[in-house]
């Protein structure tokens, strides 16, 4: 497939710099789509703890890298994830790992935020979850439009959705 693509764009797949490209591409795409082959529940082994803490917990500025499902071109940015525990908390380092898991698929930014929020709601059963993603999409920046705009999406569940004050506190904490 990669060899055909190289020929299609006018390249010679047998030339020195391109001989190993199909193999390198296959290895890279396998790594960048690891989310399809990983169970996110496995990330949580021994990482969910009982807790009486009931205030908002936020992990912000989590770098993510994903592939646009429409063009298979990267988009990347920052994720901000918050939740209000209801008897259980998760190890802080697990939040970035969860973000990475859902980013390692062909994605839409909007769906990625929903998947992160739904997963946290299902495993932690918190009072609520908020996820904001700020993404820079190379499919928009490198193509005809050449725009440097960021896409900002949110996914809010539970009290983050039903209580404007909770949502406002979350948004203030991630600024």
The residues assigned a catalytic role are 68-71, 109, 137, 139
Q: Where are the beta strands (DSSP E) in the chain?
A: 48-50, 57-68, 74-84, 88-90, 106-107, 128-137, 150-158
Q: What are phi and psi of 173, to 5 degrees?
A: -70, -25
Distance CA 95, CA 120 (A): 9
């Amino acid at each position: 497939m990669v060899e055909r693509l190289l020929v299609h764009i006018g390249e010679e797949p047998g030339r020195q710099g391109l001989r190993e490209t199909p193999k390198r591409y296959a290895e890279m795409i396998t790594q960048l789509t690891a989310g399809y082959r990983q169970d996110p529940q496995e990330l949580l082994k021994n990482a969910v703890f009982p807790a009486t803490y009931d205030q908002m917990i936020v992990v912000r500025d989590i770098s993510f890298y994903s592939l646009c499902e429409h063009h298979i071109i990267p988009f990347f940015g920052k994720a901000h994830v918050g939740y209000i525990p209801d008897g259980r908390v998760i190890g802080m380092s697990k939040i970035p790992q969860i973000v990475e898991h859902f980013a390692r698929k062909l994605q839409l930014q909007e769906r990625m935020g929903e998947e992160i929020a739904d997963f946290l709601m299902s495993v932690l059963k918190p009072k609520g979850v908020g996820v904001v993603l700020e993404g820079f999409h190379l499919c928009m920046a490198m193509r005809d439009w050449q725009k440097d705009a960021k896409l900002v999406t949110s996914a809010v569940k539970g009290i983050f959705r039903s209580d404007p004050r909770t949502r406002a506190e979350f948004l203030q904490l991630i600024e």
